[in-house]
């Protein structure tokens, strides 16, 4: 039975029983305390609490959910997934316990031919809250369930609440017995792996207060209106009805898993660790697709960070499966085809969704290349010092400079057998946030009470003369220290100075404030910042470097001419880049923010996908052609209506008065409303060099460029680098690309040959290694140091082959090899050895205690890494003693 068919049967059944069928709410929760819809009941909270009247006394739905608190369990259990679907039926003051129980039981146990799910009632168990006599009686006397298949559990298992004062109530859960192959008998109370929960019926009847913990709260009364809140896990029912082992093998997930298997050339089911990685990929790709379909885009915070983490864990898992190139085009397409029947939006909006996914993978692959090299070096140095903990500042450097996620650093470090000083990392992150906040405060001064400027503004607007003059004589209207009008400031103090006129540009429109000085009789001020704290008033933040400045003194503002020239080059270049973007991409590419400072520009624009190298080159060429053509730059002050009629663009985030300043470059070719300073003609810009392009949120991209001398210096440095490479590789610069490709191909071919040789060499050793087996306790033990190996995968493959060669008689294989300075250990056990009490996970810890490392695994296969190769013989002795004592 397909997953979509199960869902439709559920909805059809409850619609037939007078339930209003409502569509799924978005994965992006309306609840400000939640990033996502983490449970099926979240959209129903307003109805359940009575804040909003329910549209019908009975409702049923299929709700999309995202939950990542158990992300480490994904792939390792049958039921943990980050994206899942909850089928629910709800009663708001209508039917209660008996109705909910009857509906659930009838749907579950009715035949498929009659529209039910066809479960055999002999496979079903239930739990009830420890004091809920009423629910137990309904199950026993009304439904006819045998008493021995009804179990009572406490608050931790069978009582629901929101974690806040308000509604709560006991619940009754329905479990499916998967059979003795999955665990011990005894019902859900004994084994929740064998007995799988498929439906939870919450009887919302109590009002609770004084919540002290999950199970510590006071039930203070009954609710005036009793509600029913149920949830049936669609993925859990699907894998039971489809006869597969877990949710990853159902029809909506398995196609991704199979595609990953094709891409890697590895068979699902052949290796336990590989299987976990395949399941991670299948789950995370589907979850990412569904998040994208609900408007979430990858970013470094909030919901976008969760999405980015899922995507990057997928990429990481595919790399561990041996694939280093991009795989998202194939994997996301497989997920789209599996999900489109239930969620058509993944097909109709495919172009947008896929562009975000593919761009994110491309970006992360570059990050992995740089970050992994640096991390590997840091790990090696950490081990060389004898430490088992990577320094927090190393993890912070990877995160802050290279965009390497801390979660990935933790995973890779753990695989290498070391930890990470997370406390130090968190401290550095907090310090960075505090610096950012302090910088924002110092630049913007975030003064809540602007009344201090009222008297100064009453004297009239500050006259800005900087469009034409770099020096302006004025007088001091006010002096403020720490936000208080003091009338004067002395040498060494930081102050705000208000002038009647100024040539210094106040930060606005993306252009940073001018640098410069203010001088007067007996004093000199260094200008740190220039802002407009209230409309019409310009305030200069200064450091008094000499003398004392006071109200009514003469003052001359002097602009740093070189800095201003570079800044206005950058601002005019921004207009050219904007025009070039629209010329190349179309009118949909509009400005969404900018920053212009001396020699540099940053331009954000609306666009949903990364720019190709060819597109970036085209934009760069169009902008530089405009520089070459020496287009005239003109400014006009006019009414807002006239400017819009002339085709001027009103830009993102800007507020305009009735009178505006319009800047033309080449007439209508670039025509924008802008209050910034500009060059007189485009040739004065000099040179524009695009140096970066990236994503900055939902449907926004960012280009960065160097301008003028800064661009020239950057290109000069690149020319020197090309010359050095040309000399080193003995190839003309126009043949460098081909030469590097040739060397890379040769290196890959050599590495492939070496890997094949090493694999053959290891395989040839299997018979000899197997012959070293000796009796240890009740098992045959192979304990062998195999010397240098390429990787842990090679060692694991060798251990598996040796174990197979030893046959069905109880056997334990302990192999230790070295990879550089690392000591790798693998322990493999066969079924007979495990039956005799030999557990690989326990034995590998014995090995690692001696060689100084960490690791773990399952009963059949476990691994880890250490640093002390001299202790290998002692490690083997430790294993022998452990087996003898078993």
Give pLDDT tens digits for 477-490.
999 998 888 989 99
Task: Note the pLDDT tens digit of each residue in 451-463.
Answer: 678 778 778 889 9
Residue range 377-382: mean pLDDT, rounded: 82
Exposed / middle / buried, residue 861 (Cβ in 10 Å: 0-12, 13-18, 19+): buried
430 — pLDDT class (breaks 50, 70, 90): confident
Residue range 412-426: mean pLDDT, rounded: 85
Least confident of 42-56, 146-160, 183-197, 519-533: 42-56
449 — pLDDT class (breaks 50, 70, 90): very low
* Comparison of pLDDT for 647 and 810, the residue scoring more: 810
Tokens of 447: 């003064």
Residue range 266-275: mean pLDDT, rounded: 92
- Predicted local distance difference test score (pLDDT) of residue 650: 61
- Predicted local distance difference test score (pLDDT) of residue 370: 67
Task: Note the pLDDT tens digit of each residue in 784-838.
Answer: 998 888 788 888 889 999 999 998 899 999 999 988 888 999 999 999 999 888 9
Residue (of 479, 568, 489) closest to 523 by Cα position: 489
- Predicted local distance difference test score (pLDDT) of residue 655: 46
Give CA–CA dist 402/371, Å, rounded.
Answer: 6
678 is in an annotated binding site: yes
Least confident of 430-434, 448-452, 593-597, 747-751: 448-452
540 is in an annotated binding site: no
Q: Is residue 732 predicted with pLDDT exceeding 80?
A: yes
- For 411, other C-beta atoms within 10 Å of its C-beta total 16
The set of residues, in sequence order, having a beta carbon less than 8 Å from that of 745 and lying 6+ positions away, is none
Exposed / middle / buried, residue 240 (Cβ in 10 Å: 0-12, 13-18, 19+): buried
Q: Is residue 374 predicted with pLDDT exceeding 80?
A: no
Kindly give the interhelix angle for 234-241 and 3-16, rounded to the nearest 10 degrees.
120
- Predicted local distance difference test score (pLDDT) of residue 640: 80
Residue (of 823, 815, 826) closest to 869 by Cα position: 823
Sign of the torsion angle spanned by Cα atoms 107, 110, 111, 113? negative
850 is in an annotated binding site: no
- Predicted local distance difference test score (pLDDT) of residue 478: 93
Task: Note the pLDDT tens digit of each residue in 753-763.
Answer: 887 887 787 77
Residue range 778-784: mean pLDDT, rounded: 91
SS3 content of the chain, % helix, strand, coil (to 5): 45, 25, 30
Task: Note the pLDDT tens digit of each residue in 1-60.
Answer: 999 999 999 999 999 999 999 989 889 887 666 889 888 888 888 788 765 678 899 999
- Coil, helix or strand for 398? helix
Q: Is residue 654 predicted with pLDDT exceeding 60?
A: no
Q: Is residue 202 predicted with pLDDT exceeding 90?
A: yes
The set of residues, in sequence order, having a beta carbon less than 8 Å from that of 148 and lying 6+ positions away, is none
Q: Is residue 131 predicted with pLDDT exceeding 80?
A: yes
- Predicted local distance difference test score (pLDDT) of residue 233: 93
Residue range 125-147: mean pLDDT, rounded: 96
Task: Note the pLDDT tens digit of each residue in 584-612.
Answer: 998 768 787 889 999 999 998 878 788 99
653 — pLDDT class (breaks 50, 70, 90): very low
Residue range 347-356: mean pLDDT, rounded: 86
- Predicted local distance difference test score (pLDDT) of residue 438: 55
- Predicted local distance difference test score (pLDDT) of residue 609: 83
Q: Is residue 356 predicted with pLDDT exceeding 70?
A: yes
Give CA–CA dist 111/121, Å, rounded.
Answer: 11
Question: How far apart, in Å, are the Cα atoms of 836 and each of 310, 636, 784, 810, 884?
Answer: 40, 90, 22, 8, 11
Q: Is residue 130 predicted with pLDDT exceeding 60?
A: yes
> Across the strands, what pairs with 516?
527, 559
Residue range 179-198: mean pLDDT, rounded: 90
User: How much of the chain, in percent, has pLDDT values that exceed 70?
Assistant: 95
- Coil, helix or strand for 17? coil
CB 248, CB 279: distance < 8 Å: yes
Task: Note the pLDDT tens digit of each residue in 536-576.
Answer: 889 999 999 999 999 999 999 999 999 999 999 999 999 99
Residue 600: which H helix or E strand, with range? strand 600-606
- Predicted local distance difference test score (pLDDT) of residue 444: 36
Residue range 263-280: mean pLDDT, rounded: 93
The set of residues, in sequence order, having a beta carbon less than 8 Å from that of 297 and lying 6+ positions away, is 304, 307, 356, 695, 697, 698, 699
- For 55, other C-beta atoms within 10 Å of its C-beta total 10
Residue 62: which H helix or E strand, with range? strand 58-66
- Predicted local distance difference test score (pLDDT) of residue 91: 95
- Coil, helix or strand for 151? strand
Residue range 119-135: mean pLDDT, rounded: 96
106 — pLDDT class (breaks 50, 70, 90): very high
């Amino acid at each position: 039975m397909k997953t979509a068919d199960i869902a439709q049967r559920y909805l059809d059944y409850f619609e037939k029983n007078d339930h209003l069928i409502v569509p799924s709410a978005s994965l992006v929760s309306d609840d400000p305390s939640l990033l996502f819809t983490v449970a099926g009941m979240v959209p129903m909270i307003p109805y359940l609490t009575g804040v909003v009247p329910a549209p019908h006394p009975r409702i049923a739905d299929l709700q999309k959910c995202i939950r990542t608190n158990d992300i480490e369990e994904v792939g390792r259990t049958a039921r943990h997934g980050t994206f899942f679907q909850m089928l629910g039926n709800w009663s708001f003051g209508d039917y209660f316990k008996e109705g909910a129980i009857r509906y659930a039981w009838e749907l579950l146990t009715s035949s498929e031919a009659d529209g039910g799910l066809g479960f055999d009632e002999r496979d079903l168990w239930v739990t009830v809250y420890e004091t809920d006599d009423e629910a137990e009686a309904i199950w026993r006397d009304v439904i006819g369930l045998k008493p021995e298949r009804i179990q009572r559990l406490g608050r931790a298992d069978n009582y629901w609440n929101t974690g806040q004062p308000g509604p709560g109530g006991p619940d009754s859960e329905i479990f499916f017995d998967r059979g003795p192959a999955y665990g011990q008998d005894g019902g859900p109370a004994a084994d929740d792996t064998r007995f799988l929960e498929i439906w939870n019926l919450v009887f919302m009847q109590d009002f609770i207060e004084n919540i002290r913990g999950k199970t510590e709260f006071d039930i203070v009364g009954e609710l005036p209106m009793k509600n029913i809140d149920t949830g049936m896990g669609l993925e859990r029912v699907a894998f039971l009805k489809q006869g597969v082992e877990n949710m990853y093998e159902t029809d909506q997930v398995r196609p991704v898993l199979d595609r990953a298997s094709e891409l890697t050339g590895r068979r699902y089911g052949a290796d336990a660790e590989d299987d976990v990685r395949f399941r991670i990929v299948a789950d995370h790709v589907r979850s990412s697709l569904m998040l994208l379909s609900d408007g979430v885009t990858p970013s470094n915070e909030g919901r976008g960070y969760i999405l980015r983490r899922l995507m990057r864990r997928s990429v990481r898992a595919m790399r561990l499966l041996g694939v280093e190139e991009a795989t998202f085009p194939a994997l996301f397409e497989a997920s789209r085809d599996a999900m489109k029947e239930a969620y058509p939006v993944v097909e109709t909006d495919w172009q947008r969704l896929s562009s975000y996914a593919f761009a994110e993978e491309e970006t992360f692959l570059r990050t992995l290349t740089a970050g992994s090299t640096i991390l590997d070096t840091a790990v090696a140095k950490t081990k060389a010092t004898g430490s088992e903990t990577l320094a927090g500042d190393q993890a912070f450097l990877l995160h802050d400079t290279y965009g390497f996620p801390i979660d990935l650093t933790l995973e890779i470090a753990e695989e290498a057998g070391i930890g990470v000083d997370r406390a130090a990392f968190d401290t550095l992150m907090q310090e960075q946030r505090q610096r950012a906040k302090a910088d924002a405060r110092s630049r913007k001064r975030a003064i809540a009470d602007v009344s201090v400027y009222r008297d100064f503004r009453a004297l009239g607007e500050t006259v800005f003369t900087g469009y034409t003059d770099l020096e302006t004589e004025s007088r001091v209207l006010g002096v403020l220290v720490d936000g208080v009008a003091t009338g004067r400031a002395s040498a060494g103090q930081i102050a705000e100075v208000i002038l009647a006129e100024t040539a210094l540009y106040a930060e606005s429109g993306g252009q940073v404030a001018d640098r410069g000085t203010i001088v007067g009789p007996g004093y000199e001020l260094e200008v740190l910042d220039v802002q407009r704290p209230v409309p019409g008033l310009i305030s200069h933040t200064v450091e008094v470097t000499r003398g004392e400045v006071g109200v009514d003194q003469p003052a001359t503002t002097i602009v740093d001419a070189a800095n201003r020239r570079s800044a206005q080059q950058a601002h005019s270049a921004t207009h050219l880049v904007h025009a070039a973007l629209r010329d190349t991409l179309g009118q949909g590419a509009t400005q969404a923010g900018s920053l212009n400072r001396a020699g540099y520009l940053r331009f954000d624009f609306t666009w949903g996908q990364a720019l190709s190298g060819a597109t970036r080159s085209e934009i760069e060429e169009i902008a530089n052609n405009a520089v070459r053509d020496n287009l005239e730059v003109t400014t006009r002050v006019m009414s807002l209506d006239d400017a819009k009629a002339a085709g001027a663009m009103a830009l993102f985030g800007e507020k305009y008065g009735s009178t505006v300043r319009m800047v033309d470059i080449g007439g209508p070719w670039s025509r924008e409303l802008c209050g910034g300073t500009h060059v007189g003609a485009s040739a004065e810009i000099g040179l524009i060099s695009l140096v970066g392009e990236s994503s900055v949120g939902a449907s926004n991209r960012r280009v960065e460029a160097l301008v003028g001398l800064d661009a020239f210096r950057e290109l000069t440095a690149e020319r020197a680098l090309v010359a050095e490479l040309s000399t080193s590789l003995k190839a003309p610069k126009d043949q460098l690309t081909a030469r590097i490709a040739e060397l890379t191909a040769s290196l890959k071919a050599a590495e492939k040959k070496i890997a094949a040789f090493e694999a053959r060499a290891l395989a040839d050793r299997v018979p000899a290694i197997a012959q070293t087996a000796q009796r240890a306790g009740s098992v045959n033990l192979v304990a062998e140091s195999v010397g240098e190996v390429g990787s842990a995968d090679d060692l694991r493959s060798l251990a598996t082959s040796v174990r197979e060669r030893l046959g069905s008689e109880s056997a334990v294989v302990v192999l230790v090899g070295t990879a550089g300075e690392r000591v790798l250990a693998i322990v493999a056990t066969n079924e007979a050895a495990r039956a005799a009490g030999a557990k690989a996970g326990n034995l590998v810890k014995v090995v690692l205690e001696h060689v100084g490392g960490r690791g773990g695994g399952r009963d059949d296969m476990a691994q880890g890494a250490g640093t002390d190769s001299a202790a290998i013989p002692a490690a083997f002795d430790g294993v022998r003693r452990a087996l003898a004592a078993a």
